[in-house]
Amino acid sequence: MNKQFKVSVRRFLNLLLISFSVTSFANIEATFEGKLAKLNLVVSNTDLSRKRGLMNQASLEKDSGMIFIWPSAKKQCMWMKNTSLPLSVAYMTSNGRILEIYDMVPFSEDSICSNQQVRIALEVNQGWFAKNKIGVGDKINF
């Protein structure tokens, strides 16, 4: 097997393990291919944890966020109900490639939906993606 295939398999297995984790809130560290940025992420992979998200949180530490993982890819929507933090959301493919990034308005109950089928959403402090020069096409690693 070539090295690139082995790395792809390892990343897929990591995502699979995270997706089927028994605990709904696990912490992981993530990096981005070709970037220096690192994130400490809370994993949200159950219906209840995805519904709760970052609601009622007073703050979000620097270089921290929440990663939402759904069982299958489809168009997904996020909102800011009961969320006072200005956040940005990145919608990603099942292999972690960023397809779309949106800024969200605190307390807004308007849905911010992906235009494409996605399996992962990543919420971070608003401006984090721009500050770290991370955009559409970049890929997250767990």
Cα distance between residue 3 and residue 11, in whole Å = 12
pLDDT given at position 112:
97
Better-predicted residue by pLDDT, 124 or 20 = 124
> Can you give the length of the chain in residues?
142
pLDDT bucket at 93, cuts 50 / 70 / 90 = very high
What b/e sequence results for 4-36 when a residue is b if at least 16 CB atoms lie within 10 Å of its CB, and e otherwise? Answer: eeeeeeebeeebeebeeeeeeebeeebebeeee
Residues 46 and 69: beta-carbon distance below 8 Å: no
CATH class given for the domain over 3-141: mainly beta
Mean pLDDT of the chain: 86
43-79 pLDDT per residue, tens: 888 878 788 878 778 889 999 999 999 999 999 999 9
pLDDT given at position 58:
84
SS3 140: strand
Sorted by where each begins, the domain ranges of the chain are 3-141
